[in-house]
């Protein structure tokens, strides 16, 4: 680690739970972020700032004026640009050392599987159940930890699914494919700082998983009520009939 890196990340390195070894693990890591919207924006910013060595950003959409209320990695002059290009510009300004891989496409099939295989941690910042199910299946197959976030209206959720642990459930254990596909903030609305809260926690969980600091939330579902500023924590267990994580 170079002197400039020691200075840049000094406030993390001084934490005994992180130290030099944890920071080096972050610098050596690759994180895949799927969705550069409200959740992906703060997730990417904090991952880059914390020193994640490589961020792979996947999104097939372009920046729209209505995005700027909550998607803080984008700017007014980014309207019309692919979101991954806009995000790369901002992240490079924040931390030029962070390598940004742009994937301006909807990751599916073999392409999704390959990107999950390359990643140390995957952050699911998408907003469709079909996408989430596909990401989960790829993470289970590759045994790659998955940090899932969701936010709509005034409610948010966070969960970590770590298939490296035999006792950890997967996303499909929590939801089935009959759940409402249309529950998206584009149709239902979302309060702006809520996605910042959930997206920041996704970045935190990724940093903990990579550095070894603390314990992850694997096996729990955290539910945030922004109107009353209250958290609830629910225990999750494997579904013995899960078609994804059960043999």
Q: Tell me which residues are annotated as active site.
A: 185
Token representation of residue 72: 């803080």
60 phi and psi, to 5 degrees?
Answer: -100, 5
222 phi and psi, to 5 degrees?
Answer: -95, 130
Angstrom CA distances, 69 to 22, 41, 64, 192, stand at 34, 12, 10, 6
What's the burial of 59, exposed, middle or buried (CB within 10 Å: 0-12/13-18/19+)?
buried
Report the 10 Å Cβ neighbour count for 180: 7
How, if at all, do strands 121-124 and 146-152 pair? parallel
Report the 10 Å Cβ neighbour count for 40: 28
Token representation of residue 161: 């699914």
């Amino acid at each position: 680690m170079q002197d400039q890196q020691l200075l840049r990340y000094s406030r993390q390195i001084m934490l005994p739970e992180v130290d030099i070894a944890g920071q080096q693990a972050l610098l050596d890591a690759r994180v895949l972020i799927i969705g550069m919207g409200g959740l992906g924006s703060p997730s990417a910013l904090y991952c880059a700032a914390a020193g994640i060595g490589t961020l792979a950003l996947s999104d097939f959409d372009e920046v729209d004026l209505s995005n700027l209320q909550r998607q803080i990695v984008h700017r007014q002059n980014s309207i019309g640009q692919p979101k991954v290009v806009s995000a790369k510009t901002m992240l490079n300004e924040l931390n030029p050392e962070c390598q940004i891989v742009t994937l301006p496409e909807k990751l599916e099939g073999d392409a999704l599987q390959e990107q999950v295989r390359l990643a140390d941690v995957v952050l699911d910042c998408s907003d469709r159940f079909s996408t989430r199910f596909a990401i989960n299946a790829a993470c289970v197959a590759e045994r790659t930890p998955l940090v899932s976030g969701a936010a709509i209206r005034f409610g948010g959720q966070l969960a970590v699914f770590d298939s490296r642990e035999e006792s950890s459930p997967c996303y499909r254990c929590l939801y089935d494919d009959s759940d409402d596909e249309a529950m998206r903030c584009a149709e239902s609305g979302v309060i702006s700082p809520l996605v910042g809260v959930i997206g920041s926690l996704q970045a935190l969980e990724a940093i903990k998983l990579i550095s070894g600091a603390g314990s992850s939330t694997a096996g729990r579902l955290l539910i945030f009520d922004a109107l009353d500023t209250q958290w609830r924590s629910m225990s999750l267990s494997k579904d013995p009939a899960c078609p994804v994580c059960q043999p």
